[in-house]
Structure 1
Amino acid sequence: MKNRFIPLLGIFSIFSFTACNNAVQDEMAVAETTPEKAIFEGQPLSMEYEDEITKLISQMTLEEKAGMLHGTSMFATSGVPRLGIPELTMADGPLGIREEISRDSWAPAGWTNDFATYLPAGAGLSATWNPQLAYTFGNVIGAEARDRNKDVLLAPAFNIIRTPLGGRTYEYFSEDPFLNTQITVPYIVGVQENDVAACIKHYAVNNQETNRGTVDVQMDERTLREIYLPAFEAAITDAHAYSVMGAYNRFRGDYLNENEYMLQNVLRDQWGFKGIVISDWAAIHSTVKALKAGADVEMGTPRPFNEFYFADPLIAAVKAGELSEEEVDKHVRRVLRLMYNIKSIDSTGRAKGARNTEQHLKDAYDIASESIVLLKNDKKMLPLDLEGISSIAVIGDNATKKNALGGFGAGVKTKLEVTPLEGLQNRLPESIQINHAQGYLERYSKTDKAKYGDITLNGPVTIDELDPQLLEEAVNAAKNSDVAIIFAGSNRDYETEASDRANLDLPFGQEELINKVMEANPNTIVVMIAGAPFDIENVDQRASTLVWSWFNGSEGGNALADVLLGKVNPSGKLPWTMPKNLEDSPAHATKSFPGGDVATYDEGILVGYKWFDTKNIEPLYPFGYGLSYTDFELSNAKVDKTEAYANAETIRVSVDVENTGKLDGKEVVQLYVSKEDSEVERAAQELKGFIKALVPAGGSKTVTIEIPVKDLAYYSNENSDWVVEPGTYTLRIGNSSRNISEEVIVNIK
């Protein structure tokens, strides 16, 4: 079974087209950028230009060919002007199009017209559980890349979140391969509709920043196929991504950019990829081996451009007979094929793009407002009832912290980033006094580097002592206000590419600050702003009201204020599991993170909630969890058939969603599948479908989820193929992995 995923129908691959039209079109009315078409399936690379490409290649010198296969500036390869071939230009873009940098260094270019919309980070996007918004995200960032004359967007990044310590968890999507796929595919489709190639990354099993340039990842084939490759496969076979970024690490001994099994056998032979493989920066380690294995373009920075492996050494290898010029031509052809498809050679009819528009800001707002997760609301303090409130304390460095340009890696130079304080100032009536106090300082040791066990992670070490004066100001602000809101958590300087965190501790002494403020004012709301899990168990035990937000883009502060004030009913769900203890997480329970020269993924297929559910470990907050200001009940679950065959059949599951509260709201109906008597190891349950339903107060809606029977398969190491095991399957329906309210049984023959 080459492709286990069917093309995406409607908003999710599991939904029937009828369900989309009847149950989903109005659900997402808040996102006004909904495309008219209902199918998220990308346009394959056209092969119609091959004769023209052959003619161009025949006229090129070896030196010109090599110039097209390696960086000749920081983010571009050479063109061949005499033949009308332009440079191939690239841009980082996890949060928006990166500011322009110099051609030969990382220094900013100093442009005054390279501003871009700052979009919510990947964790926030996935927390919407809304593929329609993933399409919107991709369409916005693709249009902005095109407006900046970029050909390749170095995004999306969607490696599986294997450890809560991961430095790029804020940027990645999920711990679950199914949710990962449902966000990834529409994102890519949205990007490439703008005549910009998406470069999916980081292929593959690049799940830690520690030793990322050298670590050799070892896992069995079933784990690879079931957990770490599904989103990449769907990105190629359904979204038709035009380019792939080869990761830094090794896999089964070979670097990913010279790994013939991954680049040729899987990517090209099995999935039919016809685009280009671009190395991560300085991730090529050879000339002949890497080129023959399937890498096409070498990018990087540590040495002069002409010394890259695909530069002068490539020319020398051809002249020495170590590499045929026909091999070089094959890779040049792939680059030219991509360029023709995005219309960069013949720009007739190429999309123009747009940037910094009001619509893009609205799109950023829509994503941010659906991403926010209400974790706890025991005293029903939210939404804030402003009647009788004359003052609100706003406390915490995160109330004013801006994250667009933070951290190592790709930031965004943006004209607008609304902070939480500014959002409240924009939304609260003038009659309410805001008493602002910083509360804590973001400080790091200048000499120490973070360590996990005996492994140096090179991350920042925080200084966690509170400043006495700032603490006093915060306590006084809380005492003298009717309500206190603490904006705590993390930031993009602390969660960053190139280093994993050493622990889950809240940095900068925030836990002590939160305790002191809650003692001063029991009416305290705690808002966490972070991209990855933290140890907030003590905070959770003391706080009655807890909200989780993200690095949420240009309109993040306004979206957060609207959730707190009730203009927006929160509908975000956690895209990962929040553990009580780090040791409860599978990579740490098995002591296989971070490894040394080798990282063995000893937890196998039991990643994230699959581990917690199978091992009966109670998380602090489970995968898929998130509350609303209203209440929902799921009932009357039905299947269209109780028996099905393992060939091409599809199971349709319907369930009634009733809003029993007084506010309109959106609920994410989640469908998990379990099989208890399996002949192979299985997780206690696996996510196989979901739908986000808008239900008016007092109303109900019937939603339908489709599951192709082939999606119940496991990957057989013995047969090197997918196997649908006959027997009884339980379809479990709920609103989180730990809150299942309906079950139905299906027998597979």
Structure 2
Amino acid sequence: MKNKIITLSIFSMLLFKGYNANSQTVKAKKQNKTTRVKSLSSEFDAKIDKLVAQMTLEEKIGMLHGNSMFSTGGVKRLGIPELKMADGPLGVREEISRDNWSAAGWDNDFATYYPASGALAATWNTKMAYTFGNSVGQEMRARDKDMLLSPAINIVRTPLGGRTYEYSTEDPFLNKKMAVPLIVGLQDNDVMACVKHFAANNQETNRDFVDVQIDERTLREIYLPAFEAAVKEAKAYSIMGAYNKFRGEYLCENDYMLNTILRDEWGFKGVVVSDWAAVHSTVKTLKNGLDIEMGTPKPFNEFFLADKLIAAAKAGEISEAEIDKHVKRILGVLFQVKAMGGKDRVKGSIATEAHYQDAYKIAAEAIVLLKNDHNALPLQLNGVKSIAVIGNNATKKNALGGFGAGVKTKREITPLEGLKNRLPSSIKINYAEGYLERYDKKNKGKLGDITLNGPVTIDKLDPEKLEEAINAAKNSDVAIVFAGSNRDYETEASDRRDLKLPFGQEELIKKVLAVNPRTIVVMIAGAPFEIEEISKETKALVWSWFNGSEGGNALADVLLGKVNPSGKLPWTMPREIMDSPAHATKSFPGDKTVTYAEGILVGYRWFDTKNIAPMYPFGYGLSYTTFAFENAKADKKEYDNDDIITVSVDVKNTGKVDGKEVVQLYASKSDSKIQRAAQELKGFKKVLVKAGENQKVTINVPVKELAYYNVTSKKWVVEPGSYTLKLGTSSRDIKKEVVVLIK
């Protein structure tokens, strides 16, 4: 471009400028702190127009549907490559065959297994979100992929959701604040994020056809904010349409969602990809906003946007100009990630020690300390000669498993391996499996039926395994039980039956506690369980996750005190399922239709507004040290609509070890003229405070974040008046309050 800055076209500006250009502080420093907007404008538009003019109808339509399991057609004679995709909620999926789900059998597609999104959300650390995206992006490029089918940012509406481990959080604010840096980190590596599943995709039961009914205010305030931020702030290049219907129309052909909201209101100029086999029509699908149809069960030329579309175009049912519009969008994102255009593209790297360390850092900050009576943790090893390690989850690997995208990895440190790596050789480990992971053989692998019909777990403990566990606990100074779930039990395509621990684990834990009071319980799971009895009886309770390649090492470091836990729950853990809003309102799972009867009162909003005591509240997590909040104040007393409220508080570490605390800011308006939740998360910041020291924490809250969606005016409105800004360490542990006036 000879150092000339060319004015960006509307197409390029809306899609490509924004967050990616002006938010990368690291890159900005390397460019002498100057921010340059890439000239991806008239040059590209002209090239795209020229390419489209040379293409046949068949070549154009070949780009609009899968030509393999994870790619779309290119046009070799014109230098247009296939658009190559990969699944990736836990890292880059292994290579599979072009025309079926079997593994391709490569020996160079091993990848890093990263902590699941629930774990990432539990860090409450936006820097970790960027690290996650950036690290996965490098692995994508090492595998020569263009589009990562991730992140999944739907709201956790029910604790029973099969994808709760992947959907991360029940709160729209936390969702968007974690999603944006992840997407930016990924796309910094010349890779498209495909943000999914748009939208209102909050259950696996009947997911292929259930018609979701949500009132407009709830849709806007709860279920869309993370997607809107992904488009407007992170400049995501791709969105994936969901399986389900919304207000009577399938979401991959939903004009209101894909055209009115996504493109007209939000200005999205990227591509919309279907979930696999989620398309149900040809002309309607294309006109209503979908660009690429993906799927499996039939030959690729039989897709709705393949031979059927060619026939529809030749019959005059759809114009070639309409088809061109979608082809141009695909070419636009291919240019953006440098799959075309001859520019230097990120080469990437995969399964490196640096990436394993990225996974470790996330895992270490994700682990949540739920209970720690009498400082049972960290483990004091003085005088300890033996430790009983009990439970199938001590050795269970979760990189692969269940239905959905796993990772083929060379490294997955289990909890038992982590302890062996970290404990002195003088301490004997007495391992006992304790319980067997068993299902009713008749229903094993019957996907989609865990909620209602099976596979029924066999919860009766094996007498021999139980005896081994009790003997190990009796004959050890300390016992650690690793319980919870796994990715065969928590899985895409199946919601869980209930909140009970499977496989007889509760009985096992109680019997181990009876013979060894120095028993620590560690839960490994992606979603809540009913653990009130266990919580009462054990002195120490830890929550870990499907926590990546280094999960076992991170967990051992927390148990032994090398790492001070700083994770916070990204969802509410109810005492029982009927306390949870979707179940209390009897609006889950629905039959052909599901109505979100709880409205805006999702997650902690319901518990806090209805004064229902949770087992563990949203945002909860303990530390090996203690913190005090002092001197909370706002920079002013009155604010206008366009102002930013700056709230500061001093966080003092009053304990004896360094630790990280998450300052959470909730907004409340008690005299509101509209229905509101008792409080809503509107800011948070994670900070390291050394023992005995003080850190001033500042949180900026744009006044517009206090707005509600006015259905009548179809606008976001900030209600004037007095607001209470509450600072705390969970939704139920508010330390300080600041009152401000909005004019």
Q: Which category describes the TM-score, using the shorter chain as reference length?
A: over 0.9
Of 178, 183, 191, the residue aligned with 2:173 is 178
8 Å CA contact 1:450, 1:456 repeated in 2 = no
Residue 452 of structure 1: how far off its partner (Å): 14
Kindly provide the amino acid, as one letter, of the partner of residue 689 in structure 1. Answer: G
Cα distance in 2 between the residues matched to 1:496 and 1:104: 24
Kindly provide the amino acid, as one letter, of the partner of residue 69 in structure 2. Answer: M
8 Å CA contact 2:19, 2:184 repeated in 1 = no
Please report the RMSD computed on the Cα atoms of aligned residues, expressed in angstroms. 2.4
Q: Which residue of 2 aligns with 1:290?
A: 285
Kindly provide the amino acid, as one letter, of the partner of residue 737 in structure 1. Answer: S
Cα distance in 2 between the residues matched to 1:409 and 1:43: 38
Q: Equivalences for 1:157-556 in 2 at 5 Å?
A: 157-448=152-443, 457=452, 460-556=455-551
Of 695, 713, 735, the residue aligned with 1:701 is 695
TM-score by length of 1: 0.94
Q: Which residue of 1 aligns with 2:11?
A: none
Kindly indicate whether residue 743 of structure 2 is the aligned counterpart of residue 741 of structure 1: no
Q: Equivalences for 1:658-737 in 2 at 5 Å?
A: 658-737=652-731
8 Å CA contact 2:448, 2:495 repeated in 1 = no
8 Å CA contact 1:632, 1:660 repeated in 2 = yes
CA pair 44-321 structure 1, distance change in 2 beyond 3 A: farther
CA pair 611-176 structure 1, distance change in 2 beyond 3 A: same
Residue 347 of structure 1: how far off its partner (Å): 4.0
Residue 461 of structure 1: how far off its partner (Å): 1.9
8 Å CA contact 1:90, 1:153 repeated in 2 = yes
CA pair 660-476 structure 1, distance change in 2 beyond 3 A: same
Cα distance in 2 between the residues matched to 1:43 and 1:283: 37
8 Å CA contact 1:450, 1:501 repeated in 2 = no
Kindly provide the amino acid, as one letter, of the partner of residue 279 in structure 1. Answer: S
Q: Secondary structure at the match of 2:716?
A: strand
Q: Which residue of 1 aligns with 2:8?
A: none
Kindly indicate whether residue 101 of structure 2 is the aligned counterpart of residue 103 of structure 1: no
8 Å CA contact 1:373, 1:571 repeated in 2 = yes
CA pair 38-102 structure 1, distance change in 2 beyond 3 A: farther
Residue 544 of structure 1: how far off its partner (Å): 1.0
8 Å CA contact 1:124, 1:368 repeated in 2 = yes
Residue 46 of structure 1: how far off its partner (Å): 3.9
CA pair 228-559 structure 1, distance change in 2 beyond 3 A: same
Number of corresponding residues: 724
Of 554, 559, 562, the residue aligned with 1:564 is 559
CA pair 44-489 structure 1, distance change in 2 beyond 3 A: farther
- Seq. identity, %: 69
CA pair 503-155 structure 1, distance change in 2 beyond 3 A: same
Residue 302 of structure 1: how far off its partner (Å): 1.1
8 Å CA contact 2:388, 2:432 repeated in 1 = yes
Q: Secondary structure at the match of 1:460?
A: coil
TM-score by length of 2: 0.95
Residue 447 of structure 1: how far off its partner (Å): 1.8
Q: Equivalences for 1:76-95 in 2 at 5 Å?
A: 76-95=71-90
Residue 448 of structure 1: how far off its partner (Å): 4.0
Of 597, 600, 609, the residue aligned with 2:604 is 609
Residue 348 of structure 1: how far off its partner (Å): 2.3
Cα distance in 2 between the residues matched to 1:69 and 1:237: 25
CA pair 450-535 structure 1, distance change in 2 beyond 3 A: farther
Residue 65 of structure 1: how far off its partner (Å): 0.6
Kindly provide the amino acid, as one letter, of the partner of residue 216 in structure 1. Answer: D
Residue 464 of structure 1: how far off its partner (Å): 0.4
Cα distance in 1 between the residues matched to 2:39 and 2:707: 29
Residue 541 of structure 1: how far off its partner (Å): 1.1
- Which consecutive residues of structure 1, in runs of 5 or more, have no partner in the other structure? 22-31
Residue 43 of structure 1: how far off its partner (Å): 8.1
Residue 673 of structure 1: how far off its partner (Å): 0.4
Q: Which residue of 2 aligns with 1:656?
A: 650
Cα distance in 1 between the residues matched to 2:195 and 2:301: 26
Cα distance in 2 between the residues matched to 1:133 and 1:42: 25
Kindly provide the CA deviation profile for residues 623-644 of structure 1, in whole angstroms up to 9, marking residues without a partner as x.
0000000000011101111111
Kindly provide the amino acid, as one letter, of the partner of residue 490 in structure 1. Answer: S
CA pair 184-636 structure 1, distance change in 2 beyond 3 A: same
Kindly indicate whether residue 116 of structure 2 is the aligned counterpart of residue 125 of structure 1: no
8 Å CA contact 1:382, 1:566 repeated in 2 = yes
8 Å CA contact 1:459, 1:501 repeated in 2 = no
Cα distance in 2 between the residues matched to 1:541 and 1:727: 43
8 Å CA contact 1:178, 1:687 repeated in 2 = yes
Q: Secondary structure at the match of 1:461?
A: coil
CA pair 635-45 structure 1, distance change in 2 beyond 3 A: farther
Cα distance in 2 between the residues matched to 1:37 and 1:613: 47
8 Å CA contact 1:450, 1:458 repeated in 2 = no
CA pair 454-403 structure 1, distance change in 2 beyond 3 A: closer
Kindly provide the amino acid, as one letter, of the partner of residue 718 in structure 1. Answer: T
Kindly provide the amino acid, as one letter, of the partner of residue 128 in structure 2. Answer: L
Q: Secondary structure at the match of 2:455?
A: strand
8 Å CA contact 1:452, 1:502 repeated in 2 = no
Residue 150 of structure 1: how far off its partner (Å): 0.5
Residue 608 of structure 1: how far off its partner (Å): 0.2
Kindly provide the amino acid, as one letter, of the partner of residue 714 in structure 1. Answer: Y
Question: Of the two structures, which has the highest relative contact order with CA contacts closer than 8 Å and spacing of 6 or more?
Answer: 1
Kindly provide the amino acid, as one letter, of the partner of residue 70 in structure 1. Answer: H
Of 625, 630, 633, the residue aligned with 2:625 is 630
8 Å CA contact 2:204, 2:448 repeated in 1 = no
CA pair 192-43 structure 1, distance change in 2 beyond 3 A: farther
Q: Which residue of 1 aligns with 2:588?
A: 593
Cα distance in 2 between the residues matched to 1:540 and 1:450: 32
Q: Secondary structure at the match of 1:379?
A: helix
Cα distance in 1 between the residues matched to 2:550 and 2:79: 41
CA pair 100-423 structure 1, distance change in 2 beyond 3 A: same
- Which consecutive residues of structure 2, in runs of 5 or more, have no partner in the other structure? 1-13
Cα distance in 1 between the residues matched to 2:174 and 2:572: 13
Kindly provide the amino acid, as one letter, of the partner of residue 287 in structure 1. Answer: T
Cα distance in 1 between the residues matched to 2:446 and 2:401: 22
Larger CA deviation: 619-628 vs 441-450: 441-450
Cα distance in 2 between the residues matched to 1:141 and 1:103: 22
Kindly provide the amino acid, as one letter, of the partner of residue 647 in structure 2. Answer: V
Kindly provide the amino acid, as one letter, of the partner of residue 687 in structure 2. Answer: A
